[in-house]
Each structure stands twice: as C-alpha cells, then as structure tokens.
Amino acid sequence: MSILNVLLNNDRLLVAVDTLAEDAYTRRHSARAKLLLIPQHNLVLASRGTAHFFLKIYELCLQASFLADFTVESLALEIGPTMDRLWPGYLEAAEAAGLPVHDLRTEIVLGGWSSRLGRMTATAYAKRASETPALIQPLIGGLASPGEPLRGRPDSFDPVEVFQAGVLQASYLNDKNGRQVAGGSLLVAHLRQREARINEWPFVQPGLVRKERKRPGSPPLAERQSLGCTSVRYHNFGCQCMSERDSQVPFQLRAINAEAVGELLGVAGRTVLETIACRPDFPVRVSMRPATWIAGEVLEWRGANRAGRRVRGAAGRGGRVPSAIRGG
C-alpha cells in the first residue's frame, strides 16, 4: 500500500508518491523510486502497487520514447494493452515464488506535456484480475489514492498542503493496516512546459521518521521530540516556537521571519527588511506583518547570489552584489 496523488491544470502537473517499500518475504523496509521521468519528452510515470511490474512498464515506455514519431498520446494508448499482455505472466511468476497473488494489484499514472494539445495531460491505469482488461481513465483535475483521508480538502499546488495531504494518507494507511506500509519520504514531481523538477520531503511525524546517523552536537531524539521536532534533521534558524502542525512540515517549506532569514544569510534581521528584501529578485513574502518568507526559496536565492558572483537582473549599484550579501 502506498500513496499516489496527481493534480493538474493546463499549465502544471504535480505527482506525489511515498518511497516506502516492503519486502514480500521478510517485510523489511527499503526506499524505492515509485516515480520516474522520461525527461526528453517532459513526462512522468508513477505507480502505486507492485514495484517490479511498474519498472517493467517504465522500461518499455522509455524504449518507446526513443522512436522518432513518439508522442504522449501514442504512449497513452499502448500502456493499457501492454499491462493486459504482461499481467498473467507476472502473476504466474509471483505464484511460483510463493507470493499471495490475490493481493497483487497496480495503479500507474502517465502524465506530462502534450505538444499536440498544448497543455498538460494525464491518464490513470489500474490492473488486478487477469480476466478483466486494465481500467483506463483520462484524468481531469487529478486523483488521490487513497482518497478517503482527503475528503473535504480543497485541491492545492501549495507545497505545504501537498505535504500535509501525504501525511494524512500515510497515517491513514498505517492505521488501517496496523503497521507501517506507507512513509519514508514524499517524492513530488512538478512539471511545466520545458520544465521538470523533483523534490524529496522526508515524513517527520511520529512513526514515519526516516532513520539517519546522529550528528555530533545535535540533541538526542527524545529531546527533539519533546521540542516538537521529530525530524532527524535539527534546525534552529530563529524560529522561536513550532506548533505540532508546524513540526510536520520540512524546514524548506516553513515560513520564517526576518531574523531567521538573517541567520541564513549572515546578516541582521534589520538588514533583511531594509535592504535585501527590497531587491526585485528576492523571494516574495508569504505575509507582510510579520514579514515571512519560504525557507527553501531563501536558500535557493542564497545559492544563486554568493559573494563574488554577479546577480541576475537588477543588482546593486554598478551591477555588483550588495555588501550585505558579501558579509561586509
């Protein structure tokens, strides 16, 4: 059991999956790629269900993408019949390996930019029984699987909302199964025309924490949990307090104040408000009073405007990086 969410309009496509995988024999957990790109055509293929079957479908789709007359429409027409052709052999192999075939199922989504239509498109496929053809459904707006924990929630491309929807779905699946079957990280693909980007956001609520090595000088896990920060990554960038809701949001997605931005840039909070935030290329504020910015956007801006490098667009006088960024 895993997460598969799709949200699209004419210009944007978002696909989100979790990374937790479970060995059918030992039930040991690992991380798997349930979302893969066909980058030369700005397409994404994602799945929920049997990982090996998904990889075979992806391999065939990737081979087809090398053809001179390839289109997303032609690929979308081929995936369903290909699933029907391969599924009986997959069930036979699984049964020979001693796996419970009655539990095997797959959901696959193909999405991306259609040059013919001039917009984003997506199609969902589902397969379970060999005698029944694969269910094929062109998507309008998107889908959420599982959808039960998201009933009543409005659709949103906002990163915080996308992540919190994943948290609700992972918690729902784990509670329903009585053990952890979803989690790890949330992989989110963002596609626009001529643009594809993937983000990884580790789940940080209790029961879904991804284990990592303890860093020297960081508080023990029990202490971090008492502080409301159950993520293995420990941050203290001027965020005075975090509610239980905030502690479930990765640092890159949090709204941080001027003091926190100043700590990231090595300047005073007053310098942020009076100088840096006034630059036309600086990230847009989330709120005005108090002034806050998305931490990840500030970090991206910092990486693109290091000392000694010319700033894109309007820079300081003479086209130089302002002294506040140079640390002087």
pLDDT the model gives residue 295: 86
DSSP code string of 40-83: GGTEEEEEEE-HHHHHHHHHHHHHHTTSTT--HHHHHHHHHHHH
**Structure confidence at residue 49 (pLDDT):** 85
**How confident is the model at residue 157, as a pLDDT?**
92
* Tens-digit pLDDT profile for residues 46-85: 999 888 899 999 999 999 999 999 999 999 999 999 999 9
Determine the pLDDT at residue 226.
Answer: 30
3-state secondary structure 233-283: CCCCCCCCCCCCCHHHCCHHHCEEEHHHHHHHHCCCHHHHHHCHHHCCCCC
Query: What are 168-202's pLDDT values in tens digits?
Result: 999 999 999 888 889 899 999 999 998 999 999 88
Predicted pLDDT of residue 309: 55
Phi, psi of 162 (to 5 degrees): -60, -45
In the predicted model, residues of the chain with pLDDT beneath 50 are: 205-247, 311-328
